[in-house]
Chain A
Amino acid sequence: MNTQSSAMPEFPGSPGIAPASVSATRPLYWSIRRELWENPSIYVAPLAVAGVALFGFSLSSIVGIWEKPLRLNPAQPQAPYDMAAGLMMLTGIVVSVFYCLDALHSERRDRSILFWKSLPVSDATTVLAKASIPLVVLPLLTFAITVATQWLMLLVSSAVVLVSSLSVTALWANLSFLRMSWLLLYHLLTAHALWPAPIYCWLLLVSGWPRRATFLWAALPLVAIAGVEQIAFHTWHFAALVGSRLIGAAPTVASTSPDMFPTHPMTHIVPVLFLTSPGLWIGLAIAAAFLAAAVRLRRYQGPI
């Protein structure tokens, strides 16, 4: 990469002038690449689920040529696309939870933390790279894979509609694909990244603490708080709060309709409603505190 560096004269007092890769974002970029190398499930799981969804949809569409109940309705083509998107979001949540619970644990378990710490990468960079997987990488990846899947679904249904000699134009006109994609992106970044951020950052923090059983350490305090609340006040507010954060039930839309699927063209998205909700900012503040604690914790941690 920097072949000249060894030929350059040494200036003992100037450690920072090496030619290449002095930019602060490079370690972050490569640390994120490292996470993707270590955890291929980040992209394999969504791809696998997308494949299954596409297979199911194709099967249903083709069988629908003969079986009336399964036939596509070009006037109401939305449902299977929403279903596929929902499935992908669920996958994203599951992958995120498992990823976070292992994020700061695996490098201690396999002792490789000694190797990572031997390189000029700060603990903050490492923790931020790990946090960006559920908060940035997975939402964007889920978006890209979902849109690609929906495109393929559209192609399949177009072919089926053509064979059934129905109107392709009606199908395309009713679907408003672009709008659906924008809504999906908005929903993923708000409801599945910013809104559940405190949950993911909590899991990340806990993964850096115990020697084993990270899930237990992450879940027990939550269960304990919910249990105390139930016994003392006979309510489930805390459990509901955690649950709603995790599944992405964020106030991103004015819920005039009980149909909460984000890709629905009738959904009324109200970004202001979301950005002005105190819950969002309280959650982000808590997430930032958890991340700061995780950075500090990693400084003290060695192999286990």
Chain B
Amino acid sequence: MACVEARGLRKTFGTTTALDGIDLRVEQGRILGLIGPNGAGKTTALNAILGLTPYQGELKVLGRDPWTERDQLMRDVAFIADVAVLPRWARVSHLLDYVAGVHPRFDRPKAEGFLAKTTIGRDRKVRELSKGMVTQLHLALVMAIDAKLLVLDEPTLGLDILYRKQFYDSLLTDYFDRSRTIVVATHQVEEIQHILTDLMFIDRGRIVFECSMEEFESRYLEVMVHPERVAAARALRPMHERQALGRSILLFDVMTLDKVDRQQLAVFGEVRTPSIADLFVAVMNNQVGQARGAAR
């Protein structure tokens, strides 16, 4: 059973189509990065998965219908919507008491252990904490829940780089073990590149690109082309070209090249794996149809 399985997932707000028939399958133990421009439908997709919004089409999360079974589903799903959703009037101890009271899979000593590593006092009110500390608190609560699926929607928006790095580090070291599944939507692609196992680009309510990270690393290459070889390199029809430091950087999908051309790339210049952001820009700039052809 897949952790999340959607077929023809649609959602419209009036005349705006937020999700335009998405097919999605997330297997257990994966860390999926959902990446897309503002208004692409990321949050709508996550809200549908979390049972926060009604939808058309088929959707099963851990075998349940999220819209009609949200409360049972939340025993096995945890989520951090964005940085500031903890109630500002609450004390830290209130939140620990409440989650311990209602959640059968919450391990309070574990949460207290995470909090002990921070400077957050038990009697502090959420409104007295800095944005970074509120995120630490929320993460401590969520990581102490023995959930099968964790959904993160821009969890580090507006945090400084230290908190952002710490957030993903503790998620990987203290939380993730191959049995859990994480779906994370974010703009800050660079920071999550090393933790992802799967990648999905979404634009205007459609999935425009998806691949595993192994595939990403073996399939896409970026070449910093020597000026005199640019014309030859362009002849191999790169997905995308950009300029940096006076050099042309060409992004290739290796699958579109034959064996001889692949060996050519090293001759054109320095070859490296592109960042997700570079690929994202390339995919967004290309035709939607072409991007689909590139998808698996």
Interface residues of A (CB under 8 A from B): 1-3, 5-6, 10, 12, 15-16, 18-22, 26-27, 29-31, 33-34, 37-38, 107, 110-112, 114-115, 117-123, 125, 299-300, 302-303
Quick check: B102 and A31 within 8 Å, CB to CB?
Answer: yes
Complex contacts, A110 vs chain B, CB 8 Å = 87-88
Q: Is the CB of B89 within 8 A of A117?
A: no
A20 to B109 Cα, complex, angstroms: 14
For B89, what are the chain A residues with a Cβ–Cβ distance below 8 Å?
A: 37-38
Which B residues have a C-beta under 8 Å from some C-beta of A?
47, 50-54, 62, 70-82, 84-91, 94, 97-110, 138, 146, 148, 179
Q: Contact check, B75 vs A30: say whether CB atoms are below 8 A apart.
A: no
Contact A302 B53 (CB under 8 A): yes
**Given A120-B102, A120-B103, A302-B52, is A15 in contact with B75 using a C-beta cutoff of 8 Å?**
yes
Contact between B70 and A6, CB atoms less than 8 A apart: no
Choose among B79, B88, B98 the residue with the greatest number of A CB atoms under 10 Å from its CB: B98
**In the complex, what distance in Å separates the CA atom of A15 from the CA atom of B91?**
30
How far does the alpha carbon of A241 sit from the alpha carbon of B4 in the complex, in Å? 52
With a cutoff of 8 Å between Cβ atoms, the chain A residues found around residue B148 in the complex are 12
In the bound complex, what is the Cα–Cα distance between A15 and B71 (angstroms)? 12
- Given the known A-B contacts A33-B97, A117-B52, are A15 and B72 also in contact in the complex, defined by CB atoms under 8 Å? yes
B75→A18 contact, CB < 8 A: yes
CB-based contact A5/B101 at 8 Å: no
| Measured CA separation A199–B150 after assembly (Å) | 41
B85/A115 in contact, CB under 8 A: yes
Q: Are B81 and A120 in contact (CB under 8 A)?
A: no
Residue of B nearest to A28 (CB): B102
- Name the residue among A33, A115, A117, A123 with the largest chain B CB count within 10 angstroms: A115
Q: Give 28 pairs: A residue, B residue, CB < 8 Å, sorted on A.
A: A1-B107, A5-B104, A6-B146, A18-B105, A21-B100, A26-B102, A27-B102, A29-B101, A31-B102, A33-B98, A34-B94, A37-B90, A37-B91, A111-B84, A114-B52, A114-B81, A117-B50, A117-B52, A118-B77, A118-B79, A119-B99, A119-B103, A120-B71, A120-B104, A121-B71, A125-B71, A299-B70, A303-B85
Contacts of B51 in A (CB 8 A): 117
Interface residue from B90, B97, B104 paired with A22 (Cβ < 8 Å): B104
Q: Give the chain B neighbours of A118 by CB distance below 8 A.
A: 50, 74, 77-81
**Residue numbers in B under 8 Å from A115 (CB-CB):** 81, 85-87, 138
Report chain B residues within 8 Å CB of A16.
75
Kindly state the separation between the CA atoms of A38 and B89 in the bound complex, as whole angstroms: 6
Q: How far is the CA of A6 from the CA of B84 in the complex (A)?
A: 28
Q: Please give me the residue from chain A that is nearest to B111 by CB atom.
A: A1
Q: Write out the residue numbers on chain A whose beta carbons fall within 8 Å of the beta carbon of B86.
A: 112, 115
B101 contacts A10, C-beta separation under 8 Å: no
Q: A277 CA to B87 CA in the complex, in Å?
A: 43
Whether A1 contacts B106 in the complex (CB less than 8 A), given A33-B97, A118-B78, A120-B74, comes out as yes
Chain B residues contacting A31 (CB-CB under 8 Å) are 102
Are the C-beta atoms of B179 and A112 separated by less than 8 Å?
A: no
Find A30's partner among B52, B72, B80, B101 (CB 8 Å cutoff).
B101
Cα-based distance from A26 to B98 in the complex (angstroms): 10
Nearest CB on B from A183, distance (A): 36
Q: Which of B71, B78, B90 contacts A122 (CB 8 A)?
A: B71
| CB proximity of B70 to chain A, nearest CB, Å | 7
Q: Which residues of B contact A18 (CB under 8 A)?
A: 75, 104-105
| Contacting pair B179 A10 (CB below 8 A) | yes
Q: Is the CB of A1 within 8 A of B100?
A: yes
Q: Is the CB of A30 within 8 A of B81?
A: no
Say yes or no: A121-B88 contact (C-beta < 8 A), given A33-B97, A302-B53: no
* Among all A-B residue pairs, the 9 with the closest Cβ atoms: A30-B101, A18-B104, A112-B87, A122-B71, A114-B81, A120-B74, A114-B85, A1-B100, A27-B102
**Which residues of B lie under 8 Å from residue A34 when comparing CB positions?**
94, 98
Shortest beta-carbon distance from A114 to chain B in Å = 4
A7 nearest CB across to chain B (Å): 10
Smallest CB gap from A112: residue in B: B87
Residues of A within 8 A of B146 (CB): 5-6
Contacts of B85 in A (CB 8 A): 111-112, 114-115, 303
Q: Assuming the A-B contacts A119-B74, A120-B71, are A30 and B107 also in contact, with contact meaning beta carbons closer than 8 angstroms in the complex?
A: no
Whole-angstrom CA separation of A18 from B146 in the bound complex: 10
Min CB–CB distance A222 → chain B (angstroms) = 30
Given contacts A1-B107, A2-B107, A115-B87, contact A300 B98 (CB under 8 A): no
Residues of B within 8 A of A120 (CB): 71-75, 102-104
Asked whether A26 and B70 contact (CB < 8 A) given A107-B87, A112-B87, A114-B81, the answer is no
Name which residue of chain B comes closest to A10, CB basis: B179
Known: A115-B86, A120-B74. A3 touches B107 (CB 8 A): yes
